[in-house]
Amino acid sequence: MIRVVDLYKGFGAQQVLKGVNLELAAGKITTIVGTSGCGKTVLLKHLNALLLPDRGQVLVDGVDITKLGQKDLYQIRGRFGVLFQGAALLDSLTIFDNVAFPLREKTEMSETQIHKKVEERLEQVGLGGMGYKHPAELSGGMKKRAGLARALVMDPEIVLFDEPTTGLDPVLATGIHQLIARTQEIFGFTGVVVSHTIPQVFEISDYVALLANGVIEEINPTGKFQSSQSPLVQQFIRGETEGPIEAL
């Protein structure tokens, strides 16, 4: 569904992506792992053109989205849902209204239809009956669940997860990972997760890709990735400071 071809991106003198090539399988969860600051989130933001590359292509069903005008790009982005690192909820709105926001802004659905769909999504992420609360009244894990409900409310084909368990304790992180896997089974979306949470993330991933030194050094089905003899993969999995992965 998504193919990244020879992608380069820099910020000033810092070259972050140095020729990324990556194919993401439709209907599967691919997790992009790598050290903090290696460019995972930068790469993720290219997948729906929130960032544009210095050069290279991002193909969604064969269409290079880096070349699209605003109208066509808007339509492509409608196929994506995003769970942001901090959930990005609007503090002034209730959880119900946060989840309903995309439906009210982008569709002609009636309030009755919106109410039914929002309640359905809140129930599916374990927040049934919690829509009246505001973000400040929720725990970190509950905010992530609300963010996921909002990401799913437009029935996206592709969902991007930017460090979905950042700031959560191991128990809550496991819960969010399980929720991602369960909702993917229900909705069948193509999931792209960026994370450095090892080994928990292996449990939800169909494929794992290692971003290191500005490129995808390896991508494989999860089991094959874990057993890889690549020094880069083993250095990352073991958390070793010495090895071929460049330290920041």
Residue-wise pLDDT for 119-169, tens only, equals 999 999 999 999 999 999 998 889 989 999 999 999 999 999 998 888 788
List, in sequence order, every beta strand (DSSP E) within 28-170: 29-33, 55-60, 63-64, 80-83, 158-162
Supply the pTM of this predicted model: 0.90
The CA distance from 150 to 237, in Å, is: 32
* In the chain, domain spans: 27-52+79-238
Q: CATH: 3.40.50.1820, 3.40.50.720, 3.40.50.300, 3.30.390.50. Which one for 27-52+79-238?
A: 3.40.50.300
The CA distance from 196 to 88, in Å, is: 20
CB atoms within 10 A of CB 69: 7
Residue-wise pLDDT for 57-100, tens only, equals 999 999 999 999 888 888 888 899 998 877 789 999 999 999 99
For the chain, what percent of residues have pLDDT higher than 90?
A: 66
